[in-house]
């Protein structure tokens, strides 16, 4: 190994053999245009790869990896359960039997006050805001500006989800111009914060409390998704579809993702599927999409920066 890695050079042979699953993949390497002199390293069981190997052959390591990955993916797909199982997130064994997804146990009586049954269990009751668009949880649109909710001059200081005053029956409070300006600045700071929008979207889409702490760009990570997948986190993995939709605010971020290197994995252009979160675009995922998670942070960066730019224009100063 070159550089500051603690991994000893002697481990290269073992790593290369594991990547190839110890199988002869010389035929694929030949088709990939790897020189004959180097093709032998595509059969690590016969010719181990190590730091004393011909240096020019190490330059073809990425092409070798592509062959290894494709072979592994093809083998996995032989054991792939019916696609409806993958879509539901519930797969059975024994000859590919596909079990229906088990309904999440939720009875209205089991939810505490202020909560109701959602699709993932008990979720907070949320008042729909006039700032959201036709689709629940979407705050961002293509308008240049959106009027901010104003403090009511004919009612009480009842609080809604944005912390803004709205009237009901009480006499109107008196605000100085400085107080009004300060309140507006607080509101603008919230509405132009992608993390605030992310969280509000998750709440409006009925995600349970166990998921809400991940509706933040600092905590919505690949490790968090892995914990959900292996059920070491109480947030159900099925909720990731809503979480990703909220993070992207239902928008198409493919152009930014291309610039940010999201397509530079073995899955290539397939990874842009995760960047296009417009409604009603459903893609059946398979194992070939797994490398895309290596660019998860780059996707999030696009979501965060583009949402911040949009809302700054949309909810900017009056």
pLDDT at 187 over 80: no
Cα–Cα distance between 158 and 286 in angstroms, integer? 49
Mean pLDDT score, 209-218: 94
* Range name among 82-91, 129-138, 158-167, 267-276 with the lowest pLDDT average: 158-167
Higher pLDDT, 147 or 313: 313
**Residue 34 forms part of a structural domain:** yes
Residues 245 and 302 in one domain: yes
Task: Using the structure block, give the residue that is written with the tokens 């605010």.
Answer: 249
Distance CA 282, CA 22 (A): 36
Q: Is residue 65 part of a domain?
A: yes
pLDDT tens-place string over residues 27-64: 888 888 888 888 888 887 777 766 555 567 777 888 88
**pLDDT value of position 88:** 40
Question: Final residue of a domain: which of 164, 190, 216?
Answer: 190
The mean per-residue pLDDT over the stretch 138-152 comes to 54
Does 88 reside within a domain? Answer: no
- Tell me, yes or no, whether 24 and 63 share the same domain: yes
Together in a domain, 175 and 200: no
Q: What average pLDDT does the segment 142-171 reach? A: 42
Which residue do the tokens 């919505």 mark? 220
Q: Same domain for 19 and 61?
A: yes
What is the number of structural domains in the chain? 3
Domain match, 305 and 203 both: yes
What lies within 8 Å, CB to CB, of 281 at 6+ separation is none
Report the pLDDT value the prediction gives residue 76, as an integer from 0 to 100: 56
Q: Are residues 263 and 160 in the same domain?
A: no
Note whether 61 and 145 are same-domain residues.
no
Residues 185 and 201 in one domain: no
Last residue of a domain, one of 142, 162, 190: 190
- Expressed as residue numbers, the domain containing 165 is 130-190
Whether residues 220 and 271 share a domain: the answer is yes
Element spanning 118, H or E: strand 115-118
Within this chain, do residues 287 and 180 fall inside the same structural domain, yes or no?
no
Shared domain for 184 and 211, answered yes or no, is no
Task: Quick: pLDDT tens for 269-312.
Answer: 999 999 999 987 777 777 788 899 999 999 999 999 999 998 88
Same domain, 174 and 143: yes
CA distance 238 to 19: 30
Prediction pTM value: 0.54
Question: Residue 116: beta bridge partners?
Answer: 123
Domain final position from 59, 78, 97: 78
């Amino acid at each position: 190994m070159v550089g500051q890695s603690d991994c000893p050079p002697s481990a290269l042979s073992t790593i290369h053999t594991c990547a190839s699953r110890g199988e002869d993949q010389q035929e694929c390497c030949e088709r990939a245009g790897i020189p004959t002199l180097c093709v032998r390293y595509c059969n690590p069981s016969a010719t181990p790869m190590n730091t004393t190997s011909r240096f020019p052959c190490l330059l073809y390591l990425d092409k070798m990896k592509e062959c290894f990955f494709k072979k592994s993916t093809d083998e996995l797909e032989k054991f792939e359960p019916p696609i409806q199982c993958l879509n539901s997130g519930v797969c059975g064994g024994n000859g590919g039997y596909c079990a229906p997804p088990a309904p999440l146990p939720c009875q209205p009586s089991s939810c505490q006050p202020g909560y109701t049954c959602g699709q993932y269990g008990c979720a907070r009751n949320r008042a729909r805001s006039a700032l959201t668009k036709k689709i629940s949880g979407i705050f961002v649109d293509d308008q240049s500006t959106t009027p901010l909710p104003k403090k009511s001059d004919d009612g009480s200081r009842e609080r809604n989800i944005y912390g803004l005053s709205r009237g009901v029956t009480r006499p109107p409070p008196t605000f100085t111009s400085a107080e009004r300006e300060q309140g507006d600045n607080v509101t603008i700071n919230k509405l132009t914060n992608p993390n605030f929008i992310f969280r509000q979207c998750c709440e409006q889409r009925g995600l349970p409390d166990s998921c809400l702490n991940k509706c933040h760009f600092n905590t919505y990570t690949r490790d968090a998704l892995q914990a959900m997948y292996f059920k070491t986190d109480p947030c159900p993995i099925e909720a990731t579809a809503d979480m990703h939709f909220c993070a992207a605010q239902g928008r198409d971020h493919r152009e930014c993702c291309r610039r940010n290197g999201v397509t530079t994995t073995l899955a290539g252009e397939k990874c842009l599927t995760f960047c296009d979160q417009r409604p009603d675009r459903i893609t059946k995922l398979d194992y070939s999409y797994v490398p895309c998670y290596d660019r998860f942070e780059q996707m999030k960066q696009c979501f965060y920066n583009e949402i911040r730019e949009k809302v700054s224009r949309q909810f900017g100063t009056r």
